[in-house]
Amino acid sequence: MFDWTGKNVVYVGSFSGIGWQMMMQLMQQDIKMMGIMHRMENVEMMKKLQAINPSVKVVFMQMNLMDKKCIDQAMKKMGQMMGHFDVMINAENVLLDKDVETTMGMNLTGMIHATMMAMPYMDKTQMGLGGMVVNLASVYGLEPSPAFAVYAGAMHGVLGFTRSMGDKMIYQKTGVMFMAMCPGLTTGEMMMNLRDNVTWHHSESMVEAMESAKRQMPEEAATQMIKAMEMMKNGSMWIVNMGQLKEVMPTMHWQM
Residue from 121, 140, 151, 171 carrying the catalytic annotation: 151
Residue 238: pLDDT over 80: yes
Helix axes 110-118, 149-165, angle to 10 degrees: 20
Instruction: Give domain limits for the chain.
Output: 8-243
Longest Cα pair distance anywhere in the chain, in angstroms? 52
CA 61/CA 45 separation, integer angstroms: 14
The number of C-alpha atoms within 13 Å of 104 and in the hemisphere containing its C-beta is 8
pLDDT of residue 115: 98
Q: Is 140 a catalytic residue?
A: no
pLDDT of amino acid 200: 80
Within 10 Å of residue 55's Cβ, how many Cβ atoms? 8
pLDDT reported for residue 215: 93
Given a contact cutoff of 8 angstroms between Cβ atoms, the answer to whether 52 and 24 are in contact is yes
* Averaged pLDDT for residues 133-158: 97
84-107 tens-digit pLDDT: 999 999 999 999 999 999 999 999
Confidence band for 195, pLDDT divided at 50, 70 and 90: confident
Query: Beta strand 176-183 with 131-136: parallel, antiparallel or unpaired?
Result: parallel
Superfamily of domain 8-243: NAD(P)-binding Rossmann-like Domain (3.40.50.720)
Which amino acid belongs to residue 146?
P
pTM of the full structure: 0.96
Question: Nearest CA to 123 among 71, 177, 178, 176?
Answer: 176
> Does residue 252 or residue 63 have the better pLDDT?
63
